[in-house]
Amino acid sequence: MKKIACFAVLVAFWAGAVSAAEITMGFAPVPPYVMEASDGSLSGLEYEIIKEALAARGHTLRPQLFPLARVIETVRQGNTQAGARILEAHDTGRHLSDVYLVFNNVAVGLRNRNLDVSSISDLGNLRMVSFQRATIVLGSDFASAARNSPGYSEVADQRVQIRMLFGDRVDVAVGESRILQHFIHDPETGVDTGVATEEFAVFPETPYRVAFVNEQHMRDFNEGLAEIRANGRYDAIIRKYAPR
């Protein structure tokens, strides 16, 4: 009986070792979601959620950093085993996980301006600066507002959006809430954080998933994600990266 028991333990151990994998995954770096330190190590809200969800099922990550368009293309072609921050509309042809992260795009203005914004169309009356390709990402209503705007521009460096807002060169900066708040509070941006801002949540939420080449990896991720939501680790990561 002892031999049988030992054999069963060894089989279980071997099965666990075989199922655990190092998963190559593409990430698009943007603070506070995915950030690279000078030594090459990664941190960030999105990165840590995915890493811990996979770790809950014994998997490890081998991250690769690309622009988002390349993240999508590499997983579509199977050159990576997974890609993060994927929409169903990206049509990767891969196995999509449960939603692990929701982006909230907003328009941010200075509170002392007393702006009246209750819809996307209202933005057409204001000077705006947005992230690149915002008129495509945020839909036709926003594209129309951008055309009607007395001054509309797009920039690659979202830190510049905040400097333009606080420098009274625009009325609102348009982008994802946590990203804009990160740059507002980042000392390198160089703005007066004592000046209050106001967010106008006129855009629908954007739910993101991970695309996996391997269906079992997707199932493991979903199970791990459910586990870290249940044990409080997910919320702890969210709080860790909340604006100070």
- Tell me the CATH architecture of domain 19-102+206-240: 3-Layer(aba) Sandwich (3.40)
C-alpha closest to that of 59 among 207, 241, 210: 210
Per-residue pLDDT at 207: 93
pLDDT at res. 183 = 95
Mean pLDDT by 10 residues, the chain (244 residues): 46 50 96 95 97 98 94 96 93 97 97 96 98 88 97 94 97 97 94 96 95 98 98 96 79
The string of DSSP letters for 70-105 reads: HHHHHHHHTSSSEEEEE-GGG---SEE----EEE-E
Calculate the alpha carbon distances from 182 to 32, 41, 57 in Å.
7, 19, 31
Predicted pLDDT at 69: 87
Query: What would the CATH number be for the domain defined by 105-200?
Result: 3.40.190.10
What's the pLDDT tens digit per position in 149-179?
999 999 989 999 999 999 999 999 999 999 9
Domains 19-102+206-240 and 105-200 share a fold: yes
**Residue 57: DSSP 8-state:** T
What is the pLDDT at residue 235?
A: 97
- Going from the C-alpha of 20 to that of each of 16, 25, 148, the distances in angstroms are 6, 15, 53
26-41: burial string, b at 16+ Cβ within 10 Å, e else: bbbbbbbbbbbeeeee
Grouping H, G, I as helix, E, B as strand and the rest as coil, residue 17 is helix
Question: What burial class does residue 7 get, using C-beta atoms within 10 Å of its C-beta: 0-12 exposed, 13-18 middle, 19+ buried?
Answer: exposed
Q: How far apart are CA 191 and CA 213, in angstroms?
A: 43
**C-alpha to C-alpha distance for 176 and 161, rounded to whole angstroms:** 12
Are 161 and 129 in contact by the 8 Å Cβ rule? The answer is yes
pTM over 0.75: yes
Instruction: Enumerate the H helices of 110-193 as residue ranges.
Output: 134-137, 140-148, 158-166, 177-185
